[in-house]
Amino acid sequence: MARSERLLALLQILRRHRRPVSGAALAGELGVSIRTLYRDIASLQAQGADIEGEPGVGYVLRPGFMLPPLMFSQGELEALTLGFRWVQKFADTPMTKAASDALAKISAVLPAELRDELENTALLVGPRKVIDSEVVGLAVLRAAIRRERKVRLSYEDGAGSLTERIVWPVALGYFEETRMLVAWCEWRQGYRHFRTDRMRSLALLDQRYPRRRTAMLKEWREADMGPRRRPAPDAAVPPANAISQP
C-alpha cells in the first residue's frame, strides 16, 4: 500500500470511531508497525488533521477536518466524476452549475497525472429521457427541505385535475424520466409523491412544519416506499397514528 493510500485509510479508520483507539489496534488494522503508525499520525497532524492522543492512551480524530481532494484514490475520483456527470445531465440548472463548479475545484488541486485521469475517464452517463418540462424552480423545494418549511403547491394530476395543497417537503428524488417530491400533504393527511413536471406553481411559506425532517424521512423509509420502488405519483403512505383520507 502506498503511503498516501495508507494515510487515507488511517483517516477513514479514525472517522469510524468516536472514542480513542489504541495505536496497536490502528497499526494492526493497517498492517504496519507501531513506529510507522506514529509517523503517519504525525504527518496527518502536520497537514491539519485534529488528531488528539498519545501512545498508551489512544487516538481520536476531532470533527471538522476536510480531506484534501488530492488524497482521493483513483477509484474514488472515478466515482465522484461519474456522480458529477450524472448530476450535470439529470439535475436542474442550479444543481448542474454546482456540480460543474465542484468538479473544477477538485480538478484544480489534483496532481497532473490524476487530473488527466479525471478529465479523460471512460465512465459515461447515458442520454436524459425527461420529456415533460418543469415550470417551477426546484431550488425552492431544496430550500424548503433544508429549512423545514411548508410549501403551497398547485398540482395537476394525471387526469388533468388541479388542486391546491400545503405540503411538508421531505425529500426530492431524481429519476431518468422524472423527478419526484416526497412530502406530507396536509389535505390528504399522509405522505404523497408529487411529480415536479406536474407542479404548476409553488411558494415557500414562512411557517416551519412541526416535525423534524429527519424523523419524517425515517418514517417514510420504514413505510417501504424508498426510491428503489418508484412510487406512483400522489400515492398514499400513511405514517404511524395517521389516517389517509381519499
The stretches of 47-137 forming alpha helices (DSSP H) are: 74-90, 93-108, 112-119
Overall residue count recorded for the chain in this entry: 246
Q: Show the cell assigned to 129.
A: 429521457
The β-bridge partners of 194 are: 181
Residue 67: pLDDT band (50, 70, 90) is low
> What is the CATH code for 3-61?
1.10.10.10
pLDDT tens digits along 182-199: 999 999 999 999 999 899
Domain definitions of the chain by residue range: 3-61, 69-119, 138-229
Per-residue CA distances from 172 to 139, 192, 227 (Å): 11, 12, 10
> What is the CATH code for 138-229?
2.30.30
pLDDT of residue 1: 64
pLDDT tens digits along 5-25: 788 788 888 888 878 899 999
pLDDT tens digits along 130-167: 555 677 888 889 899 989 999 999 999 888 889 999 99
Exposed, middle or buried by CB within 10 Å (0-12, 13-18, 19+), for 75? exposed
Q: What is the DSSP string of 108-134?
A: HTS-HHHHHHHHT-----PPP---SPP
